[in-house]
Amino acid sequence: MADPNGHSWRDGMSSDNIKGLILALSSSIFIGSSFIVKKKGLKKAGASGVRA
């Protein structure tokens, strides 16, 4: 997707912005996956009757 001057959207992003975006996305993925693993573990523990 280029603008009329022939520049793409990536030309305006510095390497620091790209690094920050990658870190934000990866942390969101890790937090989401840990939440899912925790929920599945709690459901499994609840079904087997294990109490903490």
pLDDT of residue 32: 97
Summarised one tens digit per residue, pLDDT across range 1-52 is 556 666 666 677 899 999 999 999 999 999 999 999 999 999 998 888 766 5
Q: Cα-flanking dihedrals φ and ψ of residue 28, to 5°?
A: -65, -40
- pLDDT, position 12: 75
Q: What pLDDT shows up at residue 13? A: 80
Q: What is the pLDDT of residue 3?
A: 63
Which runs of consecutive H residues, i.e. helices, occur in the chain? 15-48
Note the maximum CA span of the chain.
65
Query: Contact at 8 Å (CB) between 17 and 11?
Result: no
